[in-house]
Amino acid sequence: MTVREINLKYDMPPSEVAVRRMEIELSAARHTRQKLFKFIHGYGSSGTGGKIRGAVRRALSARQGVAWVLPGESFGPFSAEARDAAQRWPALRQDRDWGRENDGVTVVVLR
């Protein structure tokens, strides 16, 4: 299974729109049996973390059916949680952001 990459920030939407896009993708996953997602939300131009990033991560923390939420900054071999996820889903190690400490993405594994 591959990691489905979803760019939530491509047109710089308000955070509410970006979260809605994410929810639509995750809801559709029930029908397609997709389990691995990488949401591109950016880090924000302020240098302190963007609104989309924060809103996406808050929404994911409250969502049922999520096995792992792996922030891009700890998506790699130095995170025990990421290693555990990659052991179950080896495709995670093949993602171009594995080990790059990319604050602008969040990887999600559904149950």
Structural domain that includes position 46? 4-110
Q: What is the CATH number of the domain that holds 96?
A: 3.30.1370.110
pLDDT confidence bin for 54, thresholds 50/70/90: very high
What residues form DSSP beta bridges with 108?
A: 37, 69
Task: Please report the pLDDT score of residue 8 as a whole number.
Answer: 96
The alpha-carbon radius of gyration of the chain (Å, integer) is 13
Q: State the pairing for strand pair 36-40/4-7.
A: parallel
Coil, helix or strand for 6? strand
| Total structural domains within the chain | 1
DSSP 8-state symbol, 8: S
Task: Please report the pLDDT score of residue 43 as a whole number.
Answer: 82
pLDDT tens-digit map of 13-46: 999 999 999 999 999 998 999 999 999 999 866 5
Identity of the residue numbered 74: S
